[in-house]
Amino acid sequence: MMKPIIREAKPQDKPFIEEIAHLTWDGEDYLARVFDEWIKDGNFYVLELNGKVIGTVKLTLLPNRVSWMEGLRVHPNYHGRGFGKMLHNFIVEKGRMMASEGIIDALEFSPYFLNKKIIAMAEKNGFWVKARFFVASVRVGDFKPEEPIRIEPKLEDLTLGIIPVGWRFIKRSEEALEWIRKNAEVYEYNGLKFIGPKKETIFTPLEPGPAVLKALLPAMAWVAREKDKEEFNLMLSSSIKPVLSVFRRIGVYIWDDAKEPNVLVFRKKLKDKKGLIPFVNKWNYNKEY
């Protein structure tokens, strides 16, 4: 058996990525849909073993000098062999290289709460939980869709300190506003606003509370229907925890019926005013990758 290698992704890797996506999240993984975009963006890597791509990972530059870790996948046939750890360590080291070049100050990423292994790796590598959210599902057919107005957002519209844009989480700032204008859609319906990424149907109301969400659900259903979806998802503030029972009554189903926030936003600061922060990798990162 040849030694596994990590290299930049190539267009010809797409069939392997499609296979991994088909076998992940019951075939609902977004990886295949964003493959071409990620190839163009760069900082997209694959793990190859014996000529077959069996894993992926990506770094994406976000506002506020953050590099976002995403797309960490390992083919199900190769689980339990340390390949996820290998990809995680590789991408953390890539982030440190970017910090040493003055490009970023921190790494961030967002795992689902059931991904215990990646959470344990993150904590041992010095990441800390920056924010917590609930992710939920809603059926379009449960509502009579009502058309919202798409608006050009202003900073005052971004009322949340940390703004979910799908599975990425952006700290509110002028730079973030420009990024959102390019990468997200903001809608208004009866004076209330919600946001979602351009190519996905996962929405966040820009004001918290079940009453606001209930009022916005028909408009969110309209956007999802226009994108030929029978279901859409929500990313909601952890502040909804005391009123979770209300959400099911209005047609919002928290993933895995979680009673605690089921999405964690992790952050690792790599650079401060004094320069690069010393890093001790407890997973013995192998420089030969």
Q: Tell which residue, 63, 126, 66, has the closest CA to residue 99.
A: 66
Please state, in angstroms and as integers, the Cα–Cα distance from residue 69 to each residue in 55, 193, 215, following that order: 14, 28, 34
Residues forming CATH 3.40.630.30 domain(s) in the chain: 5-105+270-276
* Contact yes or no for 48/93 (Cβ under 8 A): no
Q: Report how far residue 198's alpha carbon sits from residue 117's, in angstroms, rounded to the nearest whole number.
A: 30
pLDDT of residue 287: 38
> Which DSSP state fits 82?
S
Q: What is the bridge-based pairing of β-strands 52-62 and 202-205?
A: unpaired
Residue for token pair 């999802």: 224
Please state, in angstroms and as integers, the Cα–Cα distance from residue 241 to each residue in 44, 122, 237, following that order: 36, 25, 8
> In three state form, how does the secondary structure of 121-185 look?
HHHHCCCEEEEEEEEEEEEHHHCCCCCCEEECCCHHHCCCCEEEECCEEEECCHHHHHHHHHHEE
Q: Report how far residue 44's alpha carbon sits from residue 41's, in angstroms, rounded to the nearest whole number.
A: 8
Structure token pair of residue 277: 């922060």
pLDDT of residue 26: 79
Structure token pair of residue 135: 């992710």
pLDDT of residue 123: 93
Residue ranges of the chain with per-residue pLDDT less than 50? 282-289
Question: Which pTM was predicted?
Answer: 0.91
pLDDT of residue 221: 98
Which CATH code of 1.10.3470, 3.40.630, 3.30.530, 3.30.700 fits the domain covering 132-264?
3.40.630
* Contact yes or no for 236/270 (Cβ under 8 A): no
pLDDT of residue 20: 94
Helix (H) or strand (E) holding 94: helix 83-100
Please state, in angstroms and as integers, the Cα–Cα distance from residue 275 to each residue in 47, 80, 106, 124, 285, following that order: 31, 37, 12, 22, 22
User: Which CATH architecture is the domain 5-105+270-276 placed in?
Assistant: 3-Layer(aba) Sandwich (3.40)
Please state, in angstroms and as integers, the Cα–Cα distance from residue 13 to each residue in 20, 30, 125, 139, 208, following that order: 11, 16, 30, 34, 41
pLDDT of residue 1: 63
- The dihedral over CA atoms of 160, 214, 261, 198, expressed in degrees to the nearest 10, equals -60
278 contacts: CB under 8 Å, gap ≥ 6 = none
